[in-house]
Chains A and B, each alone.
Chain A
Amino acid sequence: MREILLVARREYLAYVGAWGFWLSLITTPLLLAVMIGAPLLLRQAEPERRIAVIASPADQALLEKAFAAPAPGRPDTGVGARYKLVRADVQDPKALTPALTGQGEEPLFGALVVTRAAGDVDLQYWSTNLTDRAPLRVAQDALSASMRRSVLASRGVAAADMAWIETLQPKVSQFDPRAAPGAGAVSAKDRAPLVAALMAAFALWTAVFSIANMLLSGVIEEKSSRVLDTLLSSAAPVQILAGKLLGVAALSFTLFTVWGGAGAGIASLAAAAAPSTTLEAFRSVATPELIALFGFCFLAGYLMFGAAFLAIGSLCESLQEAQTLIGPLILVLVLPVLLFAPAFENPASPIVRAASWVPLFTPFLTPIRAAAGMPPLEAIGLCVMLVVTIFAILFGAARVFQAGVSGSASAADVRRRFAPKLKMGG
């Protein structure tokens, strides 16, 4: 145990002493903040999108009203703030081409052309931006409503009745039959754990992937710089393997603690300003059971893949050589991501339930299934299976690591052993 702790301590201090660690510690939250904040800042910094309107004064007024406020029962998408309608003094939209192509002092983002003939309404949208169709959608909705109102008016429906009809919306409620009687209504608070579990699964997958790579490159560096032989005279291969896993786990814990602490600090500062539903949703995610399960799944995923990466690293003399062996493992590691979306959509689907019993998927799918509500017995069964798998993988990885670091096995041996089988299979 002493050797394991000493190796772990050295690994931890070596990483913490590197400037890359501090860079990662600081830049990751900054990067997240930039990823969240940048689109908002860009949107605010973006100049107003001017839309020219070629229409009758009545349609012009109709469109201005539609852009200023959302239709009854529709959410406010903020188009009023993003687009400014301007009247065009031309009849042919071709005349606007210079402004629409960014020339002139007052460039246009787009142009809406509305023409009416014999009860038909023709709407054209001109713009060099082919992806932003929001102005067209808003205009189309407004004109559709206008056309409906015309027809209803021709059938004798009063204007007040029409306004009342447009506000008609069903009262929507969603229920979960598993909830206690009288408390089954589903709110954001109930959906939050599932969203958080999906995010946690992604975070877990990303973390396992990057940390396992850290272990791989670390052991290859030790092998290529010949430190490993010196180390082997002082500690058994299994102790070195365990020490490395422990050291990097401690490093990850430090990173997550700092990031989590920073996140909690920001969250507590924002709590006063946050709506009560958001706070309730946050509280429903931060339950001890879910946090413990996320922690366990992270540890399980880390140990499974970390040990495998360490074993592969012990067989290789360089990163280039490792790539040939790591390729198939990376493909395997990518597979769980394919099930994230189906698991989020239907955590109880047969394929997701079956896949969660495959150890490769278990650490990633279990949090999602648990957040959606999983029978406790199944959760315990999955955890037991994970523990057994971890021990089996650690045992196998230790044997490969021992053979790799003592020079009894190499990447070439693995290739020799599997290449003929692959050829036969292919």
Chain B
Amino acid sequence: MTMDLDVSGLTKLYGAHRAVDDVSFAAPAGSICGILGPNGAGKSSTIRMIVGISTPSAGTVTLGGAPITRRVLRSVGYLPEERGLYRNMTPLATLIYFARLKGMGMRAAKTRALELLASQGLDGFARKKIKTLSKGMAQKVQLMAAIAHRPRLVILDEPFSGLDPVNQAGVEAMIRGLAAEGCTVLFSTHIMEHAERMCDRVVLIAQGRKAFEGAVSAALAAAPRVAHLETEGAFDLAAALSTSGFKLERESESPDHIRWRAPLDGPEAPRRLLAACVAAGAPLSLFEPSRATLHDAFVRLVGDQAAPPRPEAQTGWRAVAPEARHA
């Protein structure tokens, strides 16, 4: 059985500061929903209110139409952003403890714990103390503790933070597995690529306010697209295409090449740009229309200041000074 999560007008005040300001969204049953935003945007505050750790200043949260109570929370699994386990407990005892706190019987909890540990290749570490495990293993145990009681809604706060790429892939697989079993998954992240790869729906939050809610494809449609071009020699592509409706910016230049950036407007724009280049006889050595990203969508929706930082290694491009961009 799966459950819809409905968040309505959620607000959290710390004195005069509005950490979360009138946030509403829904996570349909069985979906993977991402809450995206930079650090300090209000993601964790929103999640802590959903799981009942902090009390909302205003707003309501319902799960399957019922208000969140301790009984309802028994069907919710939660992985906090700031994680920790009892270092002297074993993974097996930890999973049993948290599953039992969520209402599972001793025998069922033990069976489930052993099953989970085996599924992650940790059965050999079941009875070793957590302080002897590697950080990655401990994080896996923490995630397993959140899902040991077979919740119908799993809320994961920054589940990928602190994990190496191999363990990130493992967590991704685990989240997909939960969704495949019909579990509703809500996770927060400030790394857009994860959300883009995994989510059915996203909620963008900036400075405590919701900036967007909807399908990932809808968010991507809002993202501005650009093409990167490179011409040989000193050919002035911006001037050559000035009459075709494209406004090009010079990104960088070398004695042999000039690199250009062209904003794309609409799905047909890449084809039209290429045709215009050919018609102008441009000596093109590179034509690369970029893929729309959630980061770009975020910047478009909430502005550059509120957007999470974009890791340079993931964009593949280095920024140049604004004055150098213009031909």
Contacts and interface: CB of A to CB of B under 8 A. Distances in A.
Interface of A: 2-3, 6-7, 10, 14, 17-18, 222, 225-236, 406-408
A406 B48 contact: yes
B85 A227 contact: yes
Interface in B194-240: none
Given A3-B101, A231-B101, A236-B70, 13 more contacts: A2-B103, A6-B100, A18-B88, A225-B85, A227-B86, A228-B84, A229-B82, A232-B51, A233-B76, A234-B102, A406-B54, A406-B55, A407-B54
B53 A229 contact: yes
A226 B83 CA distance: 5
Contact of B84 (A6, A18, A227, A235): A227
Contacts of B84: 222, 225-230
Contact of B73 (A14, A18, A227, A233): A233
Nearest to A229: B80
Contacts of A407: 48, 54
A10 B100 CA distance: 12
B97 A230 contact: no
Q: Which of A3, A227, A407 has the most CB of B within 10 A?
A: A227
Given A226-B83, A233-B80, A408 B101 contact: no
A234 B53 CA distance: 10
B80 A230 contact: yes
B186 interface: no
B145 A230 contact: yes
A171 to B, nearest CB: 66
B326 interface: no
Nearest to A225: B84
B87 interface: yes
B142 interface: yes
A228 B85 CA distance: 9
Contacts of A3: 101
Interface in B28-79: 48, 51-55, 70, 73, 76-79
Contacts of B98: 230, 234
B85 A230 contact: yes
Shortest Cβ-Cβ A-B pairs, 10 listed: A226-B84, A229-B80, A233-B78, A234-B101, A225-B84, A226-B82, A227-B84, A406-B54, A232-B53, A406-B53
A227 B97 CA distance: 13
A10 B83 contact: no
Contacts of A235: 101
Given A6-B100, A10-B97, A230 B54 contact: no
A233 B97 CA distance: 13
B88 A229 contact: no
A17 B101 CA distance: 21
A222 B80 CA distance: 14
Contacts of A14: 86, 88-89
B53 A233 contact: yes
Contacts of A226: 80, 82-84
B233 to A, nearest CB: 59
Contact of A229 (B83, B86, B97, B101): B83
A225 B173 CA distance: 27
Contacts of A228: 84
A2 B81 CA distance: 26
Contacts of B145: 230
A407 B103 CA distance: 26
A222 B84 CA distance: 8
Interface string B92-104: 0000011011110
Contacts of A229: 53, 80-84
Nearest to B74: A234
Contacts of B86: 10, 14, 225, 227
Contacts of B73: 233
B54 A6 contact: no
A86 B42 CA distance: 90
Contacts of A6: 97, 100-101
Contacts of A233: 51-53, 73, 76-78, 80, 146
5 contacts: A6-B97, A226-B84, A227-B85, A230-B78, A236-B52
Nearest to A407: B54
A231 B78 CA distance: 10
Given A406-B53, A406-B54, A230 B88 contact: no
Q: Which of A230, A232, A235, A407 has the most CB of B within 10 A?
A: A230
B80 A408 contact: no
Contacts of A225: 84-87
B163 to A, nearest CB: 16
Contacts of A7: 101
A301 to B, nearest CB: 28
Contact of B88 (A17, A222, A232, A406): A17
Contacts of B48: 406-407
A17 B89 CA distance: 10
A102 B198 CA distance: 88
A282 B48 CA distance: 57
Contact of A408 (B51, B54, B70): B54
B96 to A, nearest CB: 10
A230 B51 CA distance: 11
Contacts of B146: 230, 233
A230 B53 contact: no
B55 to A, nearest CB: 8
A217 B226 CA distance: 57
Nearest to B86: A227
Contacts of A234: 98, 101-102
A7 B84 CA distance: 16
A384 to B, nearest CB: 32
A231 B53 CA distance: 10
A80 to B, nearest CB: 58
A400 to B, nearest CB: 15
Interface string B139-155: 00010011000000000
Contacts of B103: 2
Given A10-B97, A406-B54, A230 B83 contact: yes
Nearest to B85: A227
Contacts of A18: 88
Contacts of A236: 52, 70
Nearest to B101: A234
A9 to B, nearest CB: 9
B239 to A, nearest CB: 58
